[in-house]
Amino acid sequence: MPTYKLSYFEGQGLGEVSRQLLHLSETPFEDDRISQEDWPKRKDSMPFAKLPVLFVDGKPLPQSLAIARYLANQFGFAGKTPFESAWVDALGDQFKDYFSEMVPYFMALGGDNEEEKSRLQLEVAEPAINKFFSILEKRAKDNGSNGHFVGDSLTWIDIHISDHMGVGEKYFPNAYAAFPTVLALREGTVSLPKLKEWIEKRPVTPY
């Protein structure tokens, strides 16, 4: 079996889906959590000077969704058919579009300007959430409201969206109240015994 090391910041963010995939598959890995203080010293050693990076037998793989797709394909969380896998990837790409729209709000969360946070929540975050989660709600319903976005088995996009929602609710509760099918999907995902075990033991972080 290859050796795995996942390097990412201390929080959940864009690295958490890969941590969860490794845990779900019962794959040993080094959980390399890099502090903000240490990051400048290590930045130039990463392929794109960004995190996360997955090291497989010492060889680096950058980009969060490339890592998630690689691990999902390795461990059986990418969809059962090529068409399902393509749909999972499509939702992952749509998440990237949404995340890019949310960046100004995420940046403001790290500051002390409460007025700016409130403005960006209203002008940036809420419209982006409503647009993206309306897509997810429709997709979950079109898939039969069966607890998955694609097919009838757990995929990395179920895990990724569920974890992202957990982070989002820390900053504005009830953000997803208008999307009951997605909320039910998330509840089913985070209640899976192995995921629940991971969530309960991982470090508590603000993001």
CA angle 96, 97, 98 (to 5 degrees): 90
User: What is the model's pLDDT at position 171?
Assistant: 86
**What residues contact 53, with CB distance under 8 A and at least 6 apart?**
6, 7, 8, 46, 47, 60, 61, 62, 67
pLDDT tens digits, 139-172:
999 999 999 999 999 999 999 999 999 999 988 8
Helix (H, G, I), strand (E, B) or coil at 59: strand
User: What is the model's pLDDT at position 109?
Assistant: 86
Answer whether 15's CB lies under 8 Å from 8's CB: yes
**Cis before 40? omega within 30:** no
Helix (H, G, I), strand (E, B) or coil at 137: helix
pTM: 0.95
User: What is the model's pLDDT at position 206?
Assistant: 76
Average confidence (pLDDT) per 10 residues, the chain, 207 residues: 96 96 97 96 98 98 98 98 98 97 92 92 96 98 98 98 94 92 98 96 86
Answer whether 175's CB lies under 8 Å from 169's CB: yes
